[in-house]
Amino acid sequence: MNQPNKYIIWGSAGHAKVLNDILQVRKSNIIALFDNDDSIKSALEDVPLYHGWVGFHKWRKEHPITDISAAIAIGGNSGRARLEIGKNFLALGISTPKIIHHTATIAQSACIEQGCHILAQTMISSDVIIGEFTIINNCGSVDHECTLGKGVHVAPGAVLCGCVMVGDYTMIGAGSVILPRIKIGEGAIVGAGSVVTKDVPSHTVVAGNPAKIITRK
């Protein structure tokens, strides 16, 4: 999508700054930020910040704009929140397009659903499926035939070898490596720098080389 566009962003921290850089290159403007945290300030100079859904509805009343899109700038392991907020926007008739950095390399056969953020220097290989509201952070690599659920976060520099499956809302920590054909369950966390050699059960935190369960959630 190269058309100039107006965006609103939910989440006023670092990920909003990253999205702003991508959107500016496309001549899109972020016109308002929203965040549930009352103590937080606007992450972007000259962009007003409103708090919570009360703030959103107040802003909407004052700005009855129709041609806006939304992005959810909540990273970490908060994929469920990202998806819920995205669904709320969709129910209000506000689209949540995927946002793809111009340096990302994406195979023709890859399928990337709405609300995904595919950041700088990422590699998405053949026949990959990426569910909605998933983030592939800077320098992440998702190799052939991987299937990622919705609300997943592949943190910076993580490498998923071929045919890896990742459940909904799971976070793959920065710089970790997932060996081929590994299955990672729903709502799991893989610690930064881990090497995952065995399947990871849902709702567990694994870390280390080789990765071992350190907590169950």
Ligand X SMILES: CC(=O)SCCNC(=O)CCNC(=O)[C@H](O)C(C)(C)COP(=O)(O)OP(=O)(O)OC[C@H]1O[C@@H](n2cnc3c(N)ncnc32)[C@H](O)[C@@H]1OP(=O)(O)O
* Residue ranges in contact with ligand X by CB under 6 A: 75, 137, 155-156, 173-174, 189, 191-194, 205, 207-208, 214-215
CB of 107 to ligand X, least distance (A): 24
CB of 174 to ligand X, least distance (A): 4
Which of 55, 191 has the CB closer to ligand X?
Answer: 191
CB of 80 to ligand X, least distance (A): 16
The answer to whether the CB of 122 falls within 8 A of the CB of 140 is: yes
Copy the structure tokens of residue 167.
């459940």
Angstrom distance (rounded) from CA 144 to CA 128 = 6
Alpha-carbon torsion (169, 77, 144, 112), positive or negative: positive
Which of 14, 180 has the CB closer to ligand X?
Answer: 14
Which of 130, 189 has the CB closer to ligand X?
Answer: 189
Query: Which residue, judged by CB position, is nearest to ligand X in the bound state?
Result: 191
CB of 188 to ligand X, least distance (A): 10
Which of 155, 196 has the CB closer to ligand X?
Answer: 155
The answer to whether the CB of 191 falls within 8 A of the CB of 206 is: yes
Distances (CA, A) of 179 to 50, 143, 175, 216: 43, 10, 13, 22
